[in-house]
Structure 1
């Protein structure tokens, strides 16, 4: 063979080699050449694109780095098998970002220059797996649907029959496959089939329709049918598919509805007559509603005003009484003063009771939830109980569950109101014997606790015929007791409503002439905050010495209230100045600094709300904060919330005594 011939052969081989390399590099499948140890020697472009590594990164890896490390033994076995022959399998490979994908692997061992290699052709079969899953899901859906799905040729020969068809028609699949569709079509409806087939052949759109079909037992049923053409892989029309639903029950219901419609139509004229009557009364009802709304509004405004008008002089009375108590008095004067104090507080209690009933009736009776210490509340109540019992020579016993969480969140004022009402009733109706006060834990969850309070007395008890009425408003046991014992007959009714708001209840056990036991349950939130309001809890124990060099501005327009409040501040050891309205307060604050401001609400020139709003707006620039306490005779529902919303720090309701004033001041300075 000439050298020229050899040269041509070599050129052809080189060209073929370049073609093979180009084909491998641009193949749609991943092609990787591995060393006998599994190291990657060559990769094509598809491998780089699929795995997400650069070519250099792939060439530094081993076959086992692409496989699932938890199944490394299987990977080793498959690779060893490929060395000596060829192997095909499916597995999972991993990309550079750690995500896995399914692959089909065909590997074969090859020998070049006495050195063994493994060549693998790897195909990403993610789409195939997904398609197969969708096909299985669709097949399952078709097979298990309640509707009958039937396939047939253009000649009407049944080719497929699902479980839904078996349930509707009663035929098993093997009974109908290969049979003509007329087996389930009544004779009078057979033309429907041929008309549908002609429309399919003409590529006309076929809408769903209703018809009759025959079951295996001969029963005719109503059905709704949807027909779709079936094509082979080359696009040739080969048959049709029916989706059939049994609507026999629907038709029955439709008939019943038609019958009912006739009945309703018969009543229609009567309804029109009623409508006319209602329309004629509508204007009267609207007018009555408007009058009722006006009456409710007038009632609320009256209660708010009467509350303010009564509380303002009451603040003067109670304040003066408090101041007189610390002066030198003889025994008669002290006795008269105590009587006056008790009467004024009784009057205030009646006022509060009437306001509470108004709130309950208007649906505006709400709880105010705040952190408080139950131990201090109970200590105060038991102290008052002991003092009251000693005046009537009654024995008093207490039991407080030692496992109670004392740091709670709830409405301490309303809790105190219920307990004081029950305790006062027990003392009032007990002339001799004893009073037993108990507190125990009923339930305790992660963030809530339910407590049961009970007050047992040895008093007159409750008559059997009165027991069902004891929690009704304005009801007292009888006229004899009404004359002997004071009261409005509202306390227990209000206590019942408070108990419900606290997710609790109130009830009693009683035997006439032997005594009664009243039970009261209430739910509280547990307060896990560290050092819960330590400053507030200890405020009552602080000495007046803490008031040294503390300056207070009193903003008040009532001369009596000014005199009383100033005297209280003086006795508490505070420095103070006072002004008569909000305008004067703003002028005073321009040149002076105060540790706290006591702000009345209703004042001439500029009221307390607007004054506070102006102060807070100025503080946005100065970054300072003045402690402002609302001091108002308004005590309706929402008054406290409005004060806080405006920007005040706290709220004190008139009338108040010196101890109440001291405690609210000590919360802030």
Structure 2
């Protein structure tokens, strides 16, 4: 070996000895030929292992892996940077990078293997940390972006894509201002200046733009990026989308504003009852300021007799049960009782655990007062209606006045009440006591009757109501000669109420007077109530007076009609007789015609007089009936035969079915049938056929009289059984008073039956009535 080769050998040996990487050399049979100091430091190998095989220094699995690598090298390949794990001298697993190279002789024949092992544990750890950081960055819902100090984007994670809509390929290399609204560009200068100064910016709230132009509220955390030397070379930004948080904040702010501006008291408390929040509404309702209430127990608002309510409320809240619209009473700072409606809800923490209660208290004092007033007014109206109905149904003056006096005395709470008629004697004084309630009549004997004095003048003159809390202190008191005050033994009167009763003509009928021995009994409500009753009483008294006058006139009318009917029937009977005598002696010719017409007119007049006489008896309740067993079918047959003889020119078609015997008045039933058939003839003069049917159905006899004339409009049908009513167009040229159907209806109803009409204009009319076979009205 020449000197140069020797020098090279020493140089390589020096390098071999000084390498930081472990080097182990062995021959093709795995016998160790050389080991450097680094191998000794890492794995504890010494030069004493030279000549031994490598497998003795390795675990079986490790050697098998190594043997496989060596076989690869033997095939001519080189292994470089193969990563694996080796056990250190201390027993620690080391991450290493192995490079395996062939050792050849001068003829390039493989004579051994060189194994260079580098400890890359620190690098491996760094890589793992980098991978972990990368995974965190990619998995983050926040946008994590890096950029140069000049503002150009260098990295872009999935969170950034989700928030801003850009893919990484769309933004990397572009300037960060693509995300910044025009009016916020100045913020970038502010951020970069902070970063250049080495300062971190945390939770900077601003707005950035998404790809579609949507403005997104974000919270920015910006940090400087430094190289190994600590120089700032870029910027890292973490942007969190705070849209939901902003909405929540806005909602919270809105709720806070609502709570603070609410007229209701909104209070929160712990489960132990300690007040934790207190709004303006609570201050206004209960009088305590926030400083005075917070920290104190809720019982400061609860009356002592209602403390058990708080225990029940808290018990429900602890079970998660909400309490809605619980109406109760609470007390204010000034110890004033307040009607409230409570809604109490449980307060839960972030873990869902109930930690307190929220109370909303609405002051319903005014509402309850309004409800009570409404209830009171409703009761008053019911009372007024009841009294009004009661007295309006009465036409007896005595009953009306006593009912009014009794009712108003009770309603006002008076010790006594009285009605005085405003009767004037020769001296012009009111003197007549008519009704009294709550006291015996003897109580007024020593006092006499009210006279036209200062106290009573207002009432009897109709000037208005007098209501005095203490009549003895009234300036008009003491001017009632001869007593000049209340006489001994008279009812003690302190509270006094007097209301005039005035008729529709303005005349003062009298006055309602009320008294009580205690002061201040009669209130505005009482006054209004009595005024209402007094006005109804006045109407009832007017009606009573009118009824008496009408009853008198009605009696006179009935007397007149009865007398007139009697006086008219006498000459008519004579005239009818004379005309019939002349008719028998008259020969054919004009005399005979005139006599026939005269007799027919006398018969019509006789029918009209009979109708007037009947209706007078109907209204007086004196229409007489003589009930007996009556074959109605035979009676109708007889009437039809009479019509065939007296009113020829029509076909009277009569059909009957079943037993037609009933208990009835023969004369009155004949009057009914005759009237109905006569109307059919009268109102259907051009109709040839008139159908009469009589049938027995379900213990009822039903009679129908049908014509085929002009018919009756529906609007007229509801009125035709009224007295003096006649169908307008149809009756224009037909004589009559419109009493026949009214009397017919009365007769049928007095037989326990009913009557009706069925008709269509242009298709005739069917008058029908039904009477029971066993009449229960035989006592009429």
TM-score normalised to the size of structure 2? Answer: 0.33
Q: Which has the higher helix share?
A: 1
Greater length-normalized contact order (CA 8 Å, ≥ 6 residues apart): 1
User: TM-score, length-normalised on structure 1?
Assistant: 0.39
